[in-house]
Structure 1
Amino acid sequence: MQLEIKNIGKIKSATLEFNGITVVAGNNNTGKSTIGKVLFALFSKFNNINEAIDKYKYDAIIARVFKELSTYDLDDSIILGSPALIQMFKRGNYQSSQSILKFLEGLISDRTLEFIRSNIDNMIDNSSKEIEELDVKRIKAEIISNYFNDIFDNQINNMSISESAYIDLLIKNKHIKAEFIENTCTVVQDDIKLINKAIYVDDPYIIDSRIIRSTNSLRGRNEINNNLIKLLHSKEDEEQIIEQIIAKDKYAEIEEMINLVIKGQLILKKDGRYTLKNNEYPEGINVSNLSTGLKSFLIIKKLITDNLIVNRDILILDEPEIHLHPEWQIVYAELLVLLQKYFDLTILLTTHSPFFLRAIEVFSKKYELNQKCKYYLSKIGTDSLITFSEVENTTEIYQKMANTFSILNNISDELDCN
């Protein structure tokens, strides 16, 4: 898989390959997180996008039908036009005129119900015509525009360049492309169906949170974080019982490693928060009272033990080492390498830590995955724009990270001379 980006955020250009673990290093504010946000947004919105469009169309048709019903001089016209009633109906995922009638039984008068029974099919047909004639690519472009603007807080295009922004995801010689002009998607192409999900983790405190029910105003990091919150609070799908058994065999070694840091079972309380039960805390301790480093491990534990992450999913981790002691950074790195090995994940990591970077190198070699690792370095040009280059020898990254020690050593030498 290859991702090409031009003029998104502060990035002038970037081409990255993903074949296992991809590590991106560089100074702060050099577009590393932008790579993850683009990848996350692509997989979030192009995942089963055609099915999503069918749902959008269906919702629009139903809204029109109920709105039309509310305009008639009926006993229950106010009820039929109620947004709450429409949302309740949509959540039931009803699919036919008969299901509408069944849903309304007992909610409205017999007189109103008889009127609807006589007119419902014509109403659905009339409401469908204009909606079904809409160009699918136009709908896709609107979906992508809205979501990317949510993720990038209405600043998709590079503000220093007047050229259009461009994204091209290449998978098995097939493309998913999007072009943006003035933060609006003008061109969209999807030659391949994405079925795997992307999981973006950049804040361990997420595991403390309840689900945010109202998402209309969520943007940027809040939108990304709420996606993870909903996933962590989702339930196992009983229809996937076979896959769950297979997954449990795979993560036995991974769970053993997590238990080196933290043991126990995560329990979801009635108030929507998690508690951890183990020998040390038999009555349970609220996860909010655990250290930030432990929370980082608990998120991974939750994802694998509840089968929330599956084969070939996309896992994006923005500076995962930031709350971890160097020794735990090593454990966490080995954990990620094992996740890639057993679940064939595409993992994108950004990091500032030489310990974490070295651990990825060592453990990928230990588990014979070093050929599936790619390393990139972000650079700021004289035009203040950012580009990314692949690094064949990670010494270049270590040297950049070591500059801080050189600065401190020079200051120390000057102080000693005085």
Structure 2
Amino acid sequence: MFFELKNIGAIKQAKVKLGKLTVICGPNNTGKTYITYSLYGLLSHLREKPLSRFLRAASSYFKPIFKSIDKDKLYAEFKEKGIIRLDLKEAEKDLNNVVTLLSQLYTEKLKDIFSANADELAEAQFKIVGIDDIVFDYSKTFELKTSKYDAVKEKQSRFLEINLHSTIQNKWLIDFIIDDALFEFFLFKDFPNPFILTAERAGIQLFQKELESDWGRNALTTSRPFELKENVARLALPIAKNIDFVRDSDVVINSNSFLTKPELTTYIEDILGVQYEIVDGRKVVRDKTTLHALPCYMSSTSVRALFDLHLWLKHQAQKGDLLFLDEPELNLHPKNQLKMARLLVKLINNGINVFITTHSDYLIKEFNNMLMLANDFPEKAALMNELGYTPDDVLHAEDFNAYIAHTDGTISLAEIDKYGIKQSGFDDTIVQINKTSNKLVSAIEVQRITRINEFSTTNYADKRIQYNELRG
């Protein structure tokens, strides 16, 4: 399944397929963030508002979504037997129409995702394509429990049975429940639960005290998705979500993520040499060497930028979630950029999907190294141990989708071979700076050689003076 974007900000046309690890690299102002925000907005909205409610949001869509099913017959059987039995093979015929309708309605919502004027996105298009490529597995069991109904599909069965929790006679509500259950079965697994950290994350930490104030809470409440008010600063949905996470940090720490490996939950603290703490609702950073503690807003930019990622990994992440991370290299030393690349690959090998945008050649080169680890070669285990790699650091090409954003508003899928990404978008710049360095070195060397030649043609006294000058 692909996502197609047209005329969204700097993006003229883009086609993106999510992998376990999806990377978009390229020059500034080529639309990488527009792609990120568009994808995050869709997933966030669907997770908070199931498809059936989303599609019925406009009055013109208060009608059944899956139309191949004879719902009058189902309603009659329900009144007689008290159970709803759906033929999933019949419902599957409607999926193209469902995602087409979803695409149309989400396109209309883009202005709210970006908190932009409708005119700025008048020509925008967002499409979900390739639903026909999905092969649905009817051999496994499926269970869904909600506040209104339970749905069960037995192994090797093509029928989904729905049991309502209360006596419901409203036909429209039953239609709603049917559509909701079908969406959960067919599509929900392809729309993972998203979490985003934008490039503004370090700056947001600076205003923790203001965000915790009554003014901050009231202002941000009015800035939630699709309910923006004119007198509140305009915030794109991902940034508003970042702010919400910062405000709710003291609540977040009351739960635990599914990750159990200490090397994952403390990884960021280890590479930065700090310990993150929440004390009386305030974020505190403690130096592991000196044990000196500072409020988060007084710590270094790199430390601030990764605090929320640490909290999410330790306390909130769940298997199958999708982490959107704008510029993971933000304010990191090259050595730590390499460690960040390893963390991202460890995450996908432990059940968390990752989507990043980057300008870092260090990240890309380390991804290439981990792609090469997927090859078989002599003494592989010994070499991995020597270089400090573990099995969790192996990146398989089938899990990795890399795209290059171009200045004309398009993106292209990067070719990957056994040595990694063939063209990252950074190569031309690296070649150019090397050429510049070589020319400067050559110019300096020519001057030095010329002076040595001049030295060899002068008399002894002059040679002695020049020799001392050359030696400094």
TM-score category, normalised to shorter length? 0.5 to 0.7
Equivalent position SS for 1:322: coil
1:17-416 counterparts in 2 under 5 A?
17-50=17-50, 53=53, 134=62, 144=106, 147-154=109-116, 165-168=125-128, 173=133, 192-193=187-188, 194=191, 196-205=193-202, 206-210=204-208, 211=211, 212-215=220-223, 216-217=228-229, 222-232=236-246, 233-234=248-249, 235-236=251-252, 244=256, 246-247=258-259, 249-256=260-267, 258-270=269-281, 273-277=282-286, 279=288, 282=291, 284-306=293-315, 308-342=316-350, 344-363=351-370, 365=373, 367-371=393-397, 372-380=399-407, 384-392=408-416, 394-397=421-424, 398-406=426-434, 408-409=436-437, 412=440
List per-residue Cα deviations over 1:246-303 (Å, max 9, x = no partner).
42x2344452563232332321545xx4112455565731111111112233222111
Measure the CA separation in 2 of the matches of 1:259 and 1:169.
42
Distance apart, 1:32 and its partner CA: 1.4
TM-score by length of structure 2 reads: 0.56
> Is the Cα contact below 8 Å between 1:333 and 1:360 reproduced in 2?
yes
Equivalent position SS for 1:202: coil
Measure the CA separation in 1 of the matches of 2:125 and 2:38.
12
Q: Which runs of 5+ in 2 are unaligned?
A: 66-100, 136-182, 212-219, 374-388, 448-472
The CA RMSD over aligned residues, in Å, is 4.1
- Partner amino acid, structure 2, of 1:207: Q
Change (3 A) 1:255 1:363: farther
**Greater RCO (CA < 8 Å, at least 6 residues apart):** 1
Distance apart, 1:132 and its partner CA: 11
Measure the CA separation in 2 of the matches of 1:157 and 1:315.
30
Equivalent position SS for 1:396: coil
> Is the Cα contact below 8 Å between 2:258 and 2:318 reproduced in 1?
no
Distance apart, 1:317 and its partner CA: 1.6
Measure the CA separation in 2 of the matches of 1:143 and 1:164.
12
> Is the Cα contact below 8 Å between 1:330 and 1:356 reproduced in 2?
yes
Equivalent position SS for 2:222: coil
Distance apart, 1:214 and its partner CA: 3.5
- Indicate the percent of aligned positions where both proteins have the same amino acid: 19
Equivalent position SS for 1:47: helix
Distance apart, 1:154 and its partner CA: 2.7
TM-score by length of structure 1 reads: 0.63
List per-residue Cα deviations over 1:52-90 (Å, max 9, x = no partner).
949x99xxxxxxxxxxxxxxxxxxxxxxxxxxxxxxxxx
- Partner amino acid, structure 2, of 1:370: H
> Is the Cα contact below 8 Å between 1:11 and 1:158 reproduced in 2?
no
Measure the CA separation in 1 of the matches of 2:10 and 2:131.
25
Q: How many residues align?
A: 318
Distance apart, 1:327 and its partner CA: 0.7
Change (3 A) 1:151 1:4: same
List per-residue Cα deviations over 1:157-190 (Å, max 9, x = no partner).
887xx96623216579469xxxxxxxxxxxxxx7
Distance apart, 1:47 and its partner CA: 1.4
